[in-house]
Amino acid sequence: MLTFTLRRLLLAIPTLIFISLVIFLLLELAPGDPMAQVPLTVPPEVKAQMREALGLGQPIHIRFVKWLYQFYVVEPLYLADALFGTSWSEGLPRIISWQWRSSVLDVVAQRIPQTLWVVGLSYVIGAMIAVPIGVISAYRQYSIFDQIGTFISMVGFSVPTFFTGVLLIVIFSVNLGWFPSIYDTTLVVNDWPSFVKQLKQMVMPVFVLALYNAAQISRFMRASMLDNLNQDYVRTARAKGLGERAVVLVHVLRNSMIPVVTVIALGVPTVFSGAIITEQVFKVNGLGQLLITAIQANDLPTVQTLTVIFAILIILFNLIADILYGILDPRIRYD
């Protein structure tokens, strides 16, 4: 198991570098010129100096290696410095955003809490709703509960999040006036009223994402439960006189959770990119919104850094899913 984990970790390194290269080349080959907005009256030698200042003077391969060095070596050192008070990173060049002329990762660090609160909470809630629904629909297959659950989960992943979000705003913000339609990130929670306010503004974005996640996870849960309910060991458990509760909740549920746990782990990164739309609808200034504004401002270092961060999340959670699979299911130990 340990060798497997180590091997997968080692394999992740070339994958990451290759993905960084793909994203880097894609941005590089694109026809957009970062100097396009500069007035024509600026003399060419000044323009050349400005290009130099943005780090565009050197050939592609040198810039790519420099970027790799900055992203995978310098920035982690800065993080270590900030955490442990060391000073390994002094004087090393960081990735600078063209939009703010400051470090990209600093901005990312400012935006992460909002995204984590909304996205993380909605994912946890979604999974917690989905598991019981999946269990009951599978146990009472073709019952009314199952039919309704199937329909709701079908609706949940057919209706795009930008429509559910807008629909909720129409109903609860415009008509009923219960919740604010814009997420206020400057709100400081220090007493009860501000806590209530925070809860109120989180209800709608969390609900939209939770519905979407719950819809998908409950389908997997139901299918996996159905697979297990007809197995021989279930009959054995019943035959030896175990209560129905113990059979379903201990024997079947634990075995059905194996594929579902990996599905949940695999879904985490897609939730981050799904949150791009939800953040845009509710004006949450998280990572997704940062990406959109960076794209609109043609801020290539920020776009590149964020895309690579999303890629790292995907690879990381793929790895976690694989390892979890091995831990949960003794039949699949990768040796």
Partner 1 sequence: MTKTAVHSNDATEETATRSQWWDVWDQFKTHRGAMVGLIIFVSILLFVVVGPWVWTIDPTHIDIRARNQGPSLAHPFGTDQLGRDIFARMMAGGQVSMAVGMTAMALSLFLGTLIGVLAGYFKWLDGPLMRLTDLFLALPLLPLLLVIILLFRERLSSVFGPEGGIFILMVFAIGITSWMQAARIVRGDVLALKEREFVLAAHSIGTAPRKMILRHILPNVMSPIMVSATLGIANAIITESALSFLGLGFPPDFPTWGRLLFDGVDFLQQYPERVLFPGIAISLTVLSVNYIGDGLRDALDPRIRGR
* Binding interface with partner 1 (CB under 8 A): 15, 18-19, 22-23, 26-27, 30-32, 154-155, 157-160, 162-163, 166-167, 169-170, 174, 269, 273-274, 276-277, 280, 291-292, 295-296, 298, 303, 306-307, 310-311, 313-315, 318
Comparing CB distances to partner 1, the nearer of 32 and 330 is: 32
Residue 34 DSSP symbol: T
Comparing CB distances to partner 1, the nearer of 253 and 306 is: 306
How far, in whole angstroms, is CA 233 from its chain's centroid? Answer: 37
Compute the least distance from the CB of residue 291 to partner 1, in Å. Answer: 6
Comparing CB distances to partner 1, the nearer of 260 and 303 is: 303
Comparing CB distances to partner 1, the nearer of 89 and 304 is: 304
For residues 95 and 66, the answer to whether their CB atoms sit within 8 Å is no
290's CB contacts (< 8 A; 6+ apart) are 107, 108, 111, 302, 306
Helix axes 60-69 and 2-29, enclosed angle (nearest 10): 140
Comparing CB distances to partner 1, the nearer of 6 and 26 is: 26
Compute the least distance from the CB of residue 194 to partner 1, in Å. Answer: 26
Compute the least distance from the CB of residue 146 to partner 1, in Å. Answer: 13
Comparing CB distances to partner 1, the nearer of 31 and 241 is: 31
Compute the least distance from the CB of residue 207 to partner 1, in Å. Answer: 17
Count the alpha carbons within 13 Å of 195 in the hemisphere toward its beta carbon. Answer: 3
284's CB contacts (< 8 A; 6+ apart) are 114, 115, 118, 183, 185, 205, 278
Report the alpha-carbon distance of residue 185 to residue 113 in Å, rounded: 10
Instruction: Phi first, then psi: give them for residue 96, nearest 5 degrees.
Output: -105, 130
Compute the least distance from the CB of residue 32 to partner 1, in Å. Answer: 6
Compute the least distance from the CB of residue 65 to partner 1, in Å. Answer: 21
